[in-house]
Amino acid sequence: MRVSKSLAARFGAVVATAAIAVGGVAAATATAGATTTHHKVKTQTILTGGAKPVHVTKRHPYGTAHIIGQLTTPGTPAGEVSGARINLWRENARGRWHLVRWERTGRYGKVNFRVFHVGKGATFQLRFAGNRNFAKSRSSVIVISAVLS
């Protein structure tokens, strides 16, 4: 049986097209499998905190302190994380930490707490538990000392 050159060329083109189509499906399947195992990396956060000394008088022996914190991300300029929940923890006399209250960060990642009964000194820490986009972080320990006036 004789086959003309044009018929052989057409048959070769059909086989080549089928091979490309099968290879393309395999490549698309491999790409789809690779995207299902992708995990998002959480952005690192920095939580800073501080407080001024408390002035204690005879009329106000317990004292009130204002603790200020800010949640940011590393980089220049630093990104502020707004709307995040920041927990305020206090250390008791036995050295154990307990949750006092929580607040949400404001527009520039800042948070304010007002704490009472710190006339004999107290130790606090700000903590961010993290969320879907940002990693958890803690501030350094905030020691409030009382100053007699």
Q: Residue 56's pLDDT is what? A: 83
d(CA 117, CA 35): 54
What number is the average pLDDT over the span 34-44?
72
Classified as helix, coil or strand, 51 is strand
16-35: per-residue pLDDT in tens? 565 565 555 544 445 555 55
Choice between 11 and 25, residue whose per-residue pLDDT is larger: 11
What percent of the chain shows pLDDT beyond 90?
A: 44
d(CA 118, CA 35): 53
What pLDDT is stored for residue 69 in this prediction? 95
Residue scoring higher pLDDT (15 or 132): 132
If you average pLDDT over every residue of the chain, what do you get? Answer: 82
- pTM for the model stands at 0.69
For residue 81, which of 69, 66, 89, 67 has the smallest C-alpha distance? Answer: 69
> What phi and psi, each to the nearest 5 degrees, are found at residue 55?
-95, 125
pLDDT value at position 130? 92
Report the range of poorest mean pLDDT among 15-19, 65-69, 99-103, 132-136.
15-19
CATH of domain 46-148: 2.60.40.10
Please tell me which residue, 48 or 37, carries the higher pLDDT value: 48
The pLDDT of residue 146: 80
